[in-house]
Amino acid sequence: MEKAQLTFNGMNLEMPIIEGTEGEKAIDISKLRQETNMITLDVGYQNTGSCMSSITFIDGDNGILRYRGIPIDELAEKASFSEVAYLLIYGNLPNKEEQQLFSSRLTQNSMIHEEMLRFFDGFPPTAHPMAILGTMVNSMSVYYTDYYTEDFQAGTFDLMAASLISRIRTIAAYSYKHSIGEPHVYPKRDLKYASNFLYMMFDSPVNPYVPDPDIERALSTLLILHADHEQNCSTSTVRLVGSSMANLYASICAGICALWGPLHGGANQKVIEMLEGIKQDNITIQQCISSAKDKGSKFRLFGFGHRVYKNYDPRAKILKEYCEKIFKKYNYQDPLINIAMELEEAALKDEFFIERKLYPNVDFYSGILYRMIGIPTDMFTVMFAIGRLPGMIAQWKEMHDAVPLKIGRPRQIYTGSNLRHYLPMDERK
């Protein structure tokens, strides 16, 4: 077995090298503190693996993303979102019987408890849909208590997973209806996942929803592209919270809150606001690029850059091509796509972006497609959360399946005051 050696202060520690199935290597430092009384420091976890996982493989240098070994482009083209959810959570694509059982669990769990409807009345009309989503998902811990037990059990997990995947879409659609002052629309049992969501969003007594297979497929594709992304900020949050044995609803709620931030899932909303700002204020592409490079300004080019991808985000590539294709088919014009393409072209030629390997990420083109579907801008991150949910659930399950479950608890290097003593008020400066 290969080993790494650490030599320090006359001491020599041998540490095993762990190798993944795709050849990535890690130094196993689990004995480091015990043997040397030292820890590692890695702010932002740029070099730290927090777990071993068999769910999603990313090769950031070569722009590769696979769920359970299957390339993302194959899934985006051929699979349904519920198949992908099953694949991520249970490890393989479902056979016919498994798919039927999974779909029927989703259908049985698609309505939300009628009492939960009163919660929506308590939110101000200006509430951000991500705040509503997090709150409502956590409140499921109150309404579906018989779905979880302190001991993690497969049967109850199956119900909780289906409950979350199905109800998150109902909650999201109801929060939209609430924000526009329309009555909510109950889910329909004969509709597939994406179609049911669009039906609940856009059907109304005066304007019935007219299904469009291309739009429904576009939404499924978007959800599939977001379905998992290994140990990102929100998924790591789900694992960390879940590692204390908090229930799945509470763990997912924490993940949703982490996803909201503009450096993570909230970037899709920021991209559209940035593109709209460029259009409205007549900002030139070069002015925008210059501000993004200016270290004195807090402005970043949203939808650009990624911690892992240093080539091209394969999800952005699929989305860009998809947008071009579907826009042509519908003869749909959106001035923002032209601005986005010009911005991408200029950034990709700029030394600052080349040197730092900054490319468009999934959020750069997703908003443009959501706009075409009719999703309001402040709901884009909610769409990300709906898509990401199966991945978060799969990661939570994988962690609980591992024995023993280890609570997540990083260490720190303390940089505060040395010992000092309490002073009465009149002796303080």
Catalytic residue check, 229 = no
Contact with ligand CMC (CB under 6 A) among 11, 17, 52, 263: 263
* Spatial contact of 401 and 341, defined as CB atoms under 8 Å apart: no
Q: Does 303 bind ligand CMC (CB under 6 A)?
A: yes
Q: 203, 228, 313, 363: which one is catalytic?
A: 363
Q: Does 223 bind ligand CMC (CB under 6 A)?
A: no
Break the chain down into helix, strand, coil percent, rounded to 5: 55, 5, 40
Contact with ligand CMC (CB under 6 A) among 292, 318, 340, 386: 292
Applying the rule CB under 6 A, the residues between 25 and 54 that interact with ligand CMC are 44
Q: Which two tokens stand for residue 7?
A: 């030599």
* Spatial contact of 327 and 337, defined as CB atoms under 8 Å apart: yes
Contact with ligand CMC (CB under 6 A) among 104, 356, 401, 402: 356
Q: Does 305 bind ligand CMC (CB under 6 A)?
A: yes
- If the CB atoms of residues 129 and 303 are measured against ligand CMC, the closer one turns out to be 303
- If the CB atoms of residues 32 and 283 are measured against ligand CMC, the closer one turns out to be 283
Burial of 237 (0-12, 13-18, 19+ CB in 10 A): buried
Report how far residue 116's alpha carbon sits from residue 84's, in angstroms, rounded to the nearest whole number: 29
Report how far residue 223's alpha carbon sits from residue 221's, in angstroms, rounded to the nearest whole number: 5
Applying the rule CB under 6 A, the residues between 121 and 160 that interact with ligand CMC are none
Residue span binding ligand CMC (CB under 6 A) among the ranges 56-64, 143-151, 305-313, 374-382: 305-313
Q: Does 301 bind ligand CMC (CB under 6 A)?
A: yes
Q: Does 217 bind ligand CMC (CB under 6 A)?
A: no
Phi, psi of 77 (to 5 degrees): -85, -40
Catalytic residue check, 264 = no
Contact with ligand CMC (CB under 6 A) among 129, 242, 265, 314: 265
Distance set, CA 202 to CA 47, 181, 197, 210, 406 (Å) = 45, 13, 9, 9, 44
Report how far residue 87's alpha carbon sits from residue 279's, in angstroms, rounded to the nearest whole number: 41
Q: Does 314 bind ligand CMC (CB under 6 A)?
A: no
Q: 128, 178, 229, 306: which one is catalytic?
A: 306
- If the CB atoms of residues 242 and 303 are measured against ligand CMC, the closer one turns out to be 303
Contact with ligand CMC (CB under 6 A) among 362, 373, 379, 389: 362
Residue span binding ligand CMC (CB under 6 A) among the ranges 135-143, 323-331, 358-366, 392-400: 358-366
How many residues touch ligand CMC under the rule CB under 6 A: the total is 21
Phi, psi of 299 (to 5 degrees): -70, 135
- If the CB atoms of residues 59 and 98 are measured against ligand CMC, the closer one turns out to be 59
Q: Which two tokens stand for residue 151?
A: 């001991």
Using CA atoms in the order 34, 40, 46, 47, what is the torsion angle rounded to 10 degrees? Answer: -60
- If the CB atoms of residues 102 and 302 are measured against ligand CMC, the closer one turns out to be 302
> For residue 8, what are the β-bridge partners?
11
Least CB distance to ligand CMC at residue 133 (A): 17
- If the CB atoms of residues 91 and 262 are measured against ligand CMC, the closer one turns out to be 262
* Spatial contact of 165 and 393, defined as CB atoms under 8 Å apart: yes
Angle of helix 154-179 relative to helix 81-90, nearest 10 degrees, comes to 140
Least CB distance to ligand CMC at residue 40 (A): 18
Q: Which two tokens stand for residue 352?
A: 């600052």
- If the CB atoms of residues 56 and 220 are measured against ligand CMC, the closer one turns out to be 56
Q: Does 317 bind ligand CMC (CB under 6 A)?
A: no
CA angle 75, 309, 286 (to 5 degrees): 115
Burial of 249 (0-12, 13-18, 19+ CB in 10 A): buried
**Catalytic site residues?**
306, 363
Contact positions toward ligand CMC, by CB under 6 A? 44, 229, 232, 263-265, 267, 292, 300-307, 356, 358, 361-363
